[in-house]
Amino acid sequence: MQHGVEFAADVSDQLIGVFQNPALLLGIPLALAGAVFMSLGAQYQHRGVEKVEKLTGVEGATGLSSSQLKGLLARPSWIIGTLMLGLAVLCQLSAMAIAPLIVVQPLGAVALVVTTLLNARVSGHTPTRKSLIAIASCLGGIFLFVTLAAFYAVEREISNENLFTILAILLVVIIVLGACWLILRRRMRALFYVTGAGILYGFVATLAKAVISRIQNGNFEWLTVVCVIALLAAAAVGAYFVQTAYSSGPPDLVIAGLTVIDPIVAVLIGALVLREASAAPLLVLILFGVAGAIAVFGVFGLARYHPQVLSESQELGMQRGSGGPSTGSGTQTDDGPAQ
């Protein structure tokens, strides 16, 4: 009983400390604004990729060609989406500069809700019960993960040794993803590209936080420059994966993967490399794993049960017209209109 009282008091003190931090209170709305820009940008970029595929007559599911990449630069919708994603990055970097990464980074999960609603309206594929359960798993798992991390994470100074470790792991990740893409890209679908982009963006967020911290402390030297180069390289490969994912899956599936895998990777790096979770007891570490597993389960569930994915693969039963099979327009399903 005494232990429970002490735990409740400790949690209360931490919550009070969080909300007394003016920088954190400003970082949260910035991160939320970034999430909205991310969802809008994803929708517009997805539209641009679809138009380029129709114009070229070639699907980009196995990787966009150089001509398709050039074609994207001529699509107003894709350019608008890119500008919105740029605003999302600006908001995110501003939030990370004034608030802990472990708090602001996972708030991007809000983009999943916004993108799901937008895509349902644009595509006419109303979310099904199973896809809504998958979305709830994504959001529930990531917010549980963040809540636990906020209670027990300890922000530490990033040493040169930490940066060397992060850069070495990133190099291995890029080599593995590149090898998989070269060897198996004919078999790869949206889930691979989403997962790869999420992992890379997790490193991008971590390196961005490290660079911002070093600049704020006036410690801009050669290792910081290497971090900037690695950050740009990971961001470029991740961006290519995202564009390819748009050609082989709906935008809310892409956002689901990014908003779940990205923060989990960033937090895992903080916990294992930067030892920000060294104060967490064993039970909390187990709960970290459970929360992450729930979120990842949601991503796989959305990839399997998303109504647009099912419709395009002809796995979703469709009743045409009002009286029986038909080939006319106005296709309807139990889950809403389909294109």
Instruction: With both helix axes pointing from N to C terminus, report the angle between 110-123 and 129-152 in degrees, rounded to the nearest 10.
Output: 160
Q: In this structure, are residues 106 and 142 in contact, taking their beta carbons and an 8 Å threshold?
A: yes
Q: What pTM, to 2 d.p., does this model score?
A: 0.67
pLDDT at 150: 65
Taking only the tens of pLDDT, the chain with its 339 residues reads 555 555 455 544 444 444 445 556 677 788 888 888 888 888 888 888 878 777 776 665 555 667 777 778 878 888 898 899 889 888 888 887 777 776 677 777 777 777 777 777 776 667 778 878 888 887 888 788 777 766 776 667 778 888 999 999 999 999 998 888 888 777 777 778 888 988 998 899 889 888 888 887 787 889 999 999 999 999 998 888 887 887 767 776 777 777 778 877 887 787 788 777 777 788 888 888 888 888 878 877 776 776 655 555 544 444 433 344 443 333 434 444 433
> CB-based contacts of 104: which residues, under 8 Å, 6+ apart?
27, 28, 30, 31, 92, 95, 96
DSSP characters for 41-64?
HHHHHHHHHHHHHHHHT---TT--
β-pairing verdict for 336-337 and 332-333: antiparallel
- 306-310: long-range contacts (C-beta < 8 A, 24 or more apart)? 306/125, 306/131, 306/134, 306/249, 306/250, 306/252, 306/253, 307/125, 307/126, 307/127, 307/128, 307/131, 307/333, 307/335, 307/336, 307/338, 308/119, 308/123, 308/125, 308/250, 309/249, 309/250, 309/253
Torsion over CA of 121, 34, 260 and 157, rounded to 10 degrees?
180
Our separate counts of H helices and E strands in the chain read 13, 2
pLDDT at 261: 83
pLDDT at 167: 93
pLDDT at 330: 39
φ, ψ (nearest 5 deg) of residue 177:
-65, -40
**17 residue type, one letter:** G
How far is the C-alpha of 91 from the C-alpha of 36, rounded, in Å?
10
The separation between CA 224 and the C-alpha centre of its own chain, rounded to angstroms, equals 25
pLDDT at 338: 39
pLDDT at 226: 93
Please give the C-alpha separations between residue 177 and each of 36, 109, 198, 241, in angstroms, as whole numbers: 29, 24, 12, 10
Q: In this structure, are residues 311 and 338 in contact, taking their beta carbons and an 8 Å threshold?
A: yes
3-state SS, residue 126? coil
